Amino acid sequence: MILHAKHHATGRPVAVTVENGRITAVAGSDQNPQQWLAPAFFDPQINGCLGISFNSQSLTPEQVRTVADTCRAHGTGTFLPTLITNSFDAIRHGFATLEQSREADAELRRRIPGYHLEGPYLSGEDGPRGAHPKEYIRDPDWDEFRRWQDAAAGRIRMVTVAPERAGAIAFIEKLTAAGVVVAIGHTAATGAQLRDAVKAGAKTSTHLGNGSHALLPRHDNYIWEQLANDDLWASVITDGHHLPPAVVKCIVRAKGVARTLLTCDAGSLAGMPPGKYREWSTDLEVLPGGKIVVAGTPFLAGSGHFTDVCVANVIRFAGVSLAEAVEMATMRPRQLLGLPVNTIDVGQPADLVLFDWQPGGDVRVKQEG
């Protein structure tokens, strides 16, 4: 198969030959392609979609494949299935089912290099807690985590923690020593607690600007503290609902493209029609336009969109180039997690995305690479 498209980084027409899942040749194209080609997106935070939750105690391998295929249709070739705050048994079931799915499906082994645990070691305060069920919020427990890691066959690659929880700093140190990337999120921590977390090994912030109080001190607060810390990367949800354009622009300007990664944070209700639903032991509502909230509140509960929407929006909101947006959606999460970076070069995996895009417009995925 030969793909004729414009290279996402240079804009030049290229002809990319693909054989047996690998790129075997890259040359200039003698055609005039209008579509663009990039490495497939990598999203570090996918909770599910189409009514399927990775937290569900009835999760099946077939449902895991459905989520992966849906993400791929939106250009996301690789992602971290994300489990959120829940009971011990529910989380263990989720990881065990994900492992069962990978073992039985070679395609899922390629698409899912690991998992993200977002909770339950988070703030219990309304606002920072977000949509995470309060009854399951608790302090870090290393033995509990190890049992989840055993169920996940050692593939929990990222854990989101609130540093102010009792025992959190020692927990962060143990995670870091075990090679797990620690993210700060859903936190009401003080500046000192955040700085201690970074010293202990925390590397990034989970969806910075979200999972926070509606009102904060204008100067001394945990968003500014994380934004200013040069040792922290940050993920941002640029679905158009979680953060206004000006905030996205400020975060990207502060962190730079080199320390920013995009996530859609797709929730289990992504792709579902407007209406009220019961998920995560919580009443949720999908509003017209795809915004998902805890029913009757302004609190967001995951995203109704996918990574392709986030790539287009970060260009519009932050004034970055297509090449920079693709970097944040492909290269940066891989670098943070210590995974190989995919490029459009001979010998590389043919994990590609072909899409239509015009400046100021949407990213419209055309086909798999």
Average pLDDT of 227-245? 97
Domain 1-39+342-369 fold? Urease, subunit C; domain 1 (2.30.40)
pLDDT band at residue 290 using 50, 70 and 90 as cut-offs: confident
Tokens 């459905």 -> residue: 66
CB neighbourhood size of 148 (10 A): 20
CB count in 10 Å sphere of residue 326:
25
Section 267-291 average pLDDT: 89
Q: Is the pLDDT of residue 280 over 80?
A: no
User: How far is the CA of 234 from the CAs of 116, 123, 249, 306, in angstroms?
Assistant: 15, 19, 13, 18
Cis peptide bond N-terminal to 340, omega within 30 = no
CATH 2.30.40.10 domain residues, the chain: 1-39+342-369
Q: What's the rounded mean pLDDT across residues 10-23?
A: 97
State the pLDDT at residue 236.
Answer: 98
Bridge partners for 79 per DSSP = 43
pLDDT greater than 60 at residue 32: yes
Count of CB atoms situated within 10 Å of the CB of 100: 14
CA atoms within 13 A on the CB side of 326: 25
For residue 356, the SS3 value is strand
What is the Cα–Cα distance from 143 to 160, expressed in whole angstroms?
Answer: 17
In CATH, what class is 41-341? alpha beta
Q: For residue 217, count other CB atoms closer than 10 A to its CB.
A: 9
Residues of the chain with CATH 3.20.20.140: 41-341
Q: Looking at 43, 239, 265, 351, which residue is catalytic?
A: 265
d(CA 68, CA 313): 22
- DSSP strand E in 219-363: where? 233-237, 260-263, 275-279, 282-286, 292-294, 352-356
pLDDT, position 281:
73
Would you say residue 12 has pLDDT above 70?
A: yes
330-352: pLDDT as tens digits: 999 999 999 999 999 999 999 99
Distance CA 344, CA 266 (A): 27
pLDDT digits (tens, 9 = 90+) for 165-197: 999 999 999 999 999 999 999 999 999 999 999
Each residue's pLDDT tens digit, 50-71: 999 999 999 999 999 999 999 9
Taken in order 196, 202, 203, 207, is the CA torsion positive or negative? negative
Dihedral pair phi/psi, residue 342, rounded to 5°: -80, 135
Q: Catalytic residue at 265?
A: yes
The answer to pTM > 0.85 is yes
pLDDT of residue 70: 97
Contacts of 347 (CB under 8 A, 6+ apart): 22, 23
Q: Is 24 exposed, middle or buried (0-12, 13-18, 19+ CB in 10 A)?
A: middle
